[in-house]
Chain A
């Protein structure tokens, strides 16, 4: 068997692929955070809860309305996005004028509230959500057995990441969004409805979280705590990538997923701290993050 650094190549390739799959979740989640922070300057601590909400909406649609995975993949993000829009309109928009800390504390409280509500009704063990039949089974790649669903996760999340980046960096709507955060008064003077744009942005970020949630549902248990399990890592991703940098969030998501995968082969005990070690080092060397512009 061929070896690299004393590790069988097969094991290495397998773990790297697993890292890529995890990285897909990190990228899609940190992307939503980066959109919300980059355009609204809100540190959205409720992101994990919204991710959980996406998974639960999928589960509830299936359990009570018989709506399967594919329609849910569209419907669940819409519902979570709508929920986000209501939140922004009725509550968050009142905090824009205050210090960032207030929206951080508000969304943190919100996250605890949403999680607590679901825990009250569903306990903590999680609900089963089956892999859609069309993606069941897997493919033997020679070095590992790749479940088809996980391959789909990589593709879907990559497509969403690229799509979002394109929407914000390369379209007219995106340029309005960016302009509205630079100088809202001026953009408003041009006849653009800025408050509506902000609501749309927050709802879009929430919908991204909801989408990742339904994407994750067949892999992880649909459980009230699934959001808080992952959100800390996702925040680390955003910090390493550079707060607010959309490309940075995507690239760092995949990079840290791969780093985690590698660590699991070389020194498994460190796999759950490696992300934070990287974060600490990056903050020391480049306080604005790998892809951040300002310090």
Chain B
């Protein structure tokens, strides 16, 4: 009797355990910053972009419904990795999307690698994600520190900004951006004469700016992001950095940052971006649809990248006939990638999605015809020149 009921209980348990897996839809988890300083550049816009991609794809993958879920990692690696693990183990999440903040992305990358889950990186930009830490299930879609450093660093050095001073945010991303930019500057014949590190979410840059001002540098490079960059830009204007003959280089600026500081402060900045909404009819059409769902806000490169990466992932998984992260990402490498975001694009073996980048300059208030009309494109940087060449890669997956 005892034996019988044990068997019965075990059978019921097994049945229950297997049921959710049968009934659960495939899920894509947008793991982003829903409350902190990356909210405007990624956040809700990333969620909307992912949902648009799923809808445009038809809402089904391999005959099963697909659903987008959202998590707020609060820019903390421990929270990010706990959420990612729970999603994968309990909620049938097959791909993790976006993930601002490189330190969080690094933690999540280890989890996706070990659980064969696709990792579609759009916001996180440390080039180490596809460098020495690379993973076979990762596609870094939108940008990385190398591409920005190379685009902006080289352009400004070649224009005569030889002596550089860095104001760098003190964590993984800042260090990578500073290192990559220094390399580009040195390669173009410039030199780095000083650097100062600041904690994330600093409210007062006065003392760093003063040090930069008295250093005698031609270029003051802001190797930080979003909130920090905006505060630094605003205060640099206050301290008359540009008025005293120095040039400011925002190494990472998103469209939402320019919108927030205003053209008065941001005008004339040279920067590198992976996307701009006003490039051609295709980008305008998609951005208009995006804007309709976002109170008229135009997408940042991250938002466009989320859409493009999710769309291509769904195509690849469908074609591979599998939701295994490795299978889908492998399929993407052989696939033709071409949409409004990804031009001349392909996915490399280190996980880097190579596509055209753009060197742009922020318009003056007089040049701008209205809200969100912020950039003029100086030149297109072809994908194979924009990103770190494979032969210089530290990624162990690259066969040399």
> B-contacting residues of A (Cβ < 8 Å)?
10-11, 14-15, 18, 21-22, 119, 123-128, 130-131, 137-138, 144-145, 147, 149-150, 219-221, 223, 225-226, 229-230, 261, 264-265, 268-269, 271-272
Per-residue CB proximity of B32-60 to A under 8 Å, as 1/0? 00011101110100000000000000000
Given A10-B214, A223-B227, A126 and B197 contact (CB-CB distance below 8 Å): no
- Residues B36 and A124 in contact, CB atoms below 8 Å apart: yes
| Bound: A22/B256 CA distance, A | 28
Q: Are A21 and B256 in contact (CB under 8 A)?
A: no
With an 8 A cutoff between CB atoms, is B244 at the interface? yes
Q: Which residue of B lies closest to A14 (CB)?
A: B210
Q: Is the CB of A229 within 8 A of B40?
A: no
B240 within 8 A of A: yes
A15 with B239, Cβ < 8 A, contacts A130-B264, A221-B234, A272-B199 known: no
Query: Is B207 a contact partner of A261 (Cβ separation < 8 A)?
Result: yes
List the 6 shortest-distance A-B pairs measured between CB atoms, nearest first: A125-B260, A264-B207, A18-B206, A128-B262, A125-B40, A124-B39
Q: Assuming A124-B35, A145-B239, is B201 touching A221 (CB within 8 A)?
A: no
Contacts of B239 in A (CB 8 A): 138, 145, 147
State whether A123 and B39 are in contact (beta carbons under 8 Å apart), knowing that A128-B262, A147-B238, A147-B240 are contacts in the complex.
yes
Contacts of B338 in A (CB 8 A): none
> Are A145 and B230 in contact, with the CB atoms below 8 A?
no
Do B40 and A123 have beta carbons less than 8 Å apart?
yes
B203 and A126 contacting across the interface, CB-CB below 8 Å: no
Return the contact of A150 from the options B43, B238, B259 (Cβ within 8 A): B238
Task: Report the Cα distance A269→B169, complex, angstroms.
Answer: 11
Is the pair B235, A15 in contact by a Cβ cutoff of 8 Å? Answer: no
What does the 1/0 interface line of B218-259 toward A look like (CB < 8 Å)? 000000001100110011001110001000000000001101
Please state if A220 and B40 are interface contacts (CB–CB under 8 Å): no
Instruction: Check: B213 CB closer than 8 A to any chain A CB.
Output: yes
Contact residues in A for B39 (Cβ distance below 8 Å): 119, 123-125
Residues of the B chain whose Cβ atoms lie less than 8 Å from the Cβ of A125? 37, 39-41, 226-227, 230, 256-257, 259-260
- Across the interface, which residues of A come within 8 angstroms of B257, CB to CB? 125
* Contact indicator A226/B197 (Cβ below 8 Å): no
The answer to whether B210 and A221 touch across the interface, beta carbons within 8 angstroms, is no
Q: Indicate if the CB atoms of B210 and A126 lie closer than 8 Å.
A: no
What are 22 A-to-B residue pairs whose CB atoms are below 8 Å?
A10-B214, A14-B207, A15-B207, A123-B39, A124-B40, A125-B39, A125-B259, A125-B260, A127-B260, A128-B234, A128-B262, A128-B264, A128-B265, A131-B238, A145-B239, A145-B244, A150-B206, A219-B234, A220-B204, A220-B234, A264-B208, A272-B202
- CA of A125 to CA of B238, assembled, Å: 19
Q: Is the CB of A124 within 8 A of B227?
A: yes
A130 shortest CB reach to chain B, Å: 7
**Distance (Å) between the CB of B174 and the closest chain A CB?**
13
**A26 to B231, alpha carbons, bound, how many Å?**
19
A128 touches B261 (CB 8 A): yes
Query: Complex: how many Å from CA A261 to CA B240?
Result: 20
**Residue B8 interfacial (CB < 8 Å):** no
CB distance from B175 to the nearest CB of A (A): 14
Task: Determine whether B211 belongs to the interface, using a CB cutoff of 8 Å to chain A.
Answer: yes
Establish whether residues B238 and A219, one from each chain, have CB atoms under 8 Å apart when the complex forms.
Answer: yes
- Does chain A have a CB within 8 A of B279? no
Question: What's the nearest-Cβ distance from chain B to residue A106, in Å?
Answer: 22
Q: Quick check: B197 and A269 within 8 Å, CB to CB? A: yes
Query: Within the assembled complex, what's the spacing in Å between the Cα atoms of A261 and B35?
Result: 30
Complex Cα–Cα for A137 and B238 (A): 7
A221 touches B230 (CB 8 A): yes
CB distance from B133 to the nearest CB of A (A): 25
Whether B196 is near chain A, meaning CB under 8 Å from some CB there, is yes
The proximity string for B residues 281-293 relative to A, scoring 1 for CB distances below 8 Å and 0 otherwise, is 0000000000000
Q: How far is the CA of A251 from the CA of B315 in the complex (A)?
A: 65
Distance A63 CA – B349 CA, assembled complex (angstroms):
50
Known: A124-B40, A130-B264, A144-B210. A138 touches B238 (CB 8 A): yes
Query: B262's closest neighbor in chain A, by CB?
Result: A128
Chain B nearest CB from A84 CB (Å) reads: 24
B207 close to A18 (CB less than 8 A):
yes
- CB of B239 to closest CB in A, whole Å: 6
Task: Give complex CA distance A196, B207 in Å.
Answer: 44
Residues of A within 8 Å of B227, CB to CB, are 124-126, 221, 223
Instruction: Collect the chain A residues with CB atoms within 8 Å of residue B37's CB.
Output: 124-125, 225
* Complex CA distance for A11 and B240, rounded to whole angstroms: 17
